[in-house]
Amino acid sequence: MADMKRVAVLGSTGSIGTSTLEVIARHPGRLRLVGISAHSRIEILQRQIASHRPEVAAVVEEQGAETLRRIAGRRVEVLQGAEGLVRLATHPAVDVVVVGTTGPEALVPLIRAIEAGKQIALASKELLVMAGELIMRLVHRHKTRLIPVDSEHSAVDQCLRAGQRGEVRRLILTASGGPFLNTPADQFDKITPEQALKHPVWKMGRRITVDSATLMNKGLEVIEARWLFDIPAEKVDVMVHPQSIVHSMVEFVDGSVIAQLGTADMRQPIQYALTYPERLESAVAPLDWTTVPRLDFSPPDRMKFPCVGLAYAAIQAGGTAPAVVNAADEVAVEAFLKQRIAFSDIPKLIAAALEDHTPARADSLDSVIQADAWARAHVATHVHRVRMSVTSQVQVD
């Protein structure tokens, strides 16, 4: 019988985390939940503890940790703060760490988990964008494995099993095109947060949903693929595929193209990452080939969606430039969601940060964190200027 895999889930209350718990619960003989974590969503965390009975729970927010201790009693060990995340990620009873949290706070636990030899199921593309060079160097040094949970990169990972890395001509990442694929560019100034948060296919978090609307999500995935699969960015292409049935493709030097197709359900890539190299029965509905529509593919309009080009520019600039683009995007998206800037201002703020940044080497945690902080401050300042400019214009009118 195959070995039981013991799992810790960082970010268990988000969409990836809750889907991961479903996958684990479906395979009690093969997967066992050891620990979960959240930033502050204590009520959800409490329900998860009652349903899935983990041994350990980590809460970033101090007050939330104290609340959970009172509620949970002795049923679970409650860890606290950034140190608590690291302790969970490196727990001796854990074999696989699912990283479903985003932002810099997840970077240190991820690195410490790799150093501890844990297998990583990575759902947070932002971490590889920020520190891909550093992360993958550590993965190789500590002889562990990092398996992507992103549907596109999971698809590539699966397709690559059909050949040798030296036989790859290019990777093709597919994009749904988001909700504004057919919206004229001159209407982008009028797009509201509510409209941007209505993704036509996937149900995701707020930032990633807006990133899909600007296609920055696909740009970040290009950067992620560059490090994850050790392939030059010029060999990573993007194709808009509105049906979202082909999750990505690999083209080999002999002209063969291997594609991974499936229903749009994140439980498939999550289960693939947890059970690799095996495939087990899952709750994901198989494709009904009698109802599959025509499959369309087209290159993205980079004039209309400049964020794709900004991602390639960041790779070309090298060093800490990708970390700057990632942080700049996060701050700009948050400003848009708070209606402080227009949808069309998002790429402008990212471009300004990239242009003003002098890249440093991204081979240490400190350099990555410093670049991230610089970009956040830079965009925050420019958001204020944009806001002041809009206010002044309104007053003049």
Using the Cα atoms of residue 243, residue 249, residue 253 and residue 256 in order, give the sign of their dihedral. Answer: negative
73 falls within a domain: yes
Question: Rounded to an integer, what distance in angstroms lies between the CA atom of residue 232 and that of residue 225?
Answer: 9
* Residue 102 in this model has a pLDDT that exceeds 80: no
CATH number of domain containing 31: 3.40.50.720
64 falls within a domain: yes
Q: What are the pLDDT digits (tens) for 67-83? A: 999 988 888 999 999 99
* Residue 244 in this model has a pLDDT that exceeds 80: yes
With beta carbons less than 8 A apart as the criterion, state whether 273 and 148 touch: yes
Q: What would the mean pLDDT of 12-31 be, rounded to a whole number?
A: 96
329 falls within a domain: no
Alpha carbon distance, N-terminus to C-terminus of the chain: 74
Q: What would the mean pLDDT of 111-129 be, rounded to a whole number?
A: 96
With beta carbons less than 8 A apart as the criterion, state whether 336 and 345 touch: yes
387 falls within a domain: no
With beta carbons less than 8 A apart as the criterion, state whether 123 and 98 touch: yes
Q: What is the mean pLDDT of the chain?
A: 93
Distance of CA 338 to the CA centre of its chain: 22
* Residue 298 in this model has a pLDDT that exceeds 50: yes
Residue 393 pLDDT level (bands cut at 50, 70, 90): very low
Q: What is the pLDDT of residue 389?
A: 56
Using the Cα atoms of residue 119, residue 121, residue 125 and residue 127 in order, give the sign of their dihedral. Answer: negative
Count of domains for the chain: 1
Transcribe 5-33 into DSSP letters: EEEEEETTTSHHHHHHHHHHHH-TTTEEE
284 falls within a domain: no
Residue 105 pLDDT level (bands cut at 50, 70, 90): confident
Phi first, then psi, for residue 244 (nearest 5°) are 55, 40
Q: Determine if the peptide bond prior to 179 is cis (ω within 30°).
A: no
With beta carbons less than 8 A apart as the criterion, state whether 321 and 222 touch: no
Please choose, from the candidates 48, 22, 50, 23, the residue with its C-alpha nearest in 3D space to the C-alpha of residue 37. Answer: 48
Phi first, then psi, for residue 179 (nearest 5°) are -75, -15
Please choose, from the candidates 268, 207, 248, the residue with its C-alpha nearest in 3D space to the C-alpha of residue 19. Answer: 268
With beta carbons less than 8 A apart as the criterion, state whether 269 and 150 touch: yes
Distance of CA 275 to the CA centre of its chain: 20
Question: Rounded to an integer, what distance in angstroms lies between the CA atom of residue 201 and that of residue 258?
Answer: 23
325 falls within a domain: no
Question: Rounded to an integer, what distance in angstroms lies between the CA atom of residue 366 and that of residue 369?
Answer: 5
Question: Rounded to an integer, what distance in angstroms lies between the CA atom of residue 33 and that of residue 25?
Answer: 8
Choose between 72 and 194: higher pLDDT: 194
Choose between 172 and 101: higher pLDDT: 172
Please choose, from the candidates 292, 299, 326, 329, the residue with its C-alpha nearest in 3D space to the C-alpha of residue 175. Answer: 299
* Residue 115 in this model has a pLDDT that exceeds 90: yes
Residue 396 pLDDT level (bands cut at 50, 70, 90): very low
Q: What is the pLDDT of residue 75?
A: 85
Please choose, from the candidates 311, 265, 300, the residue with its C-alpha nearest in 3D space to the C-alpha of residue 178. Answer: 300
Lowest model confidence (mean pLDDT) among 18-27, 167-176, 193-202:
193-202
- Token pair 């201790």: residue: 69
Q: What would the mean pLDDT of 204-219 be, rounded to a whole number?
A: 93
* Residue 132 in this model has a pLDDT that exceeds 50: yes
* Residue 287 in this model has a pLDDT that exceeds 90: yes
Distance of CA 105 to the CA centre of its chain: 14
232 falls within a domain: no
137 falls within a domain: yes
Domain of 69?
5-148
Q: What are the pLDDT digits (tens) for 137-190? A: 999 999 999 999 999 999 999 999 999 999 999 999 999 999 999 999 999 999
Percent of the chain at pLDDT > 70 equals 97
With beta carbons less than 8 A apart as the criterion, state whether 184 and 110 touch: no
Residue 2 pLDDT level (bands cut at 50, 70, 90): low
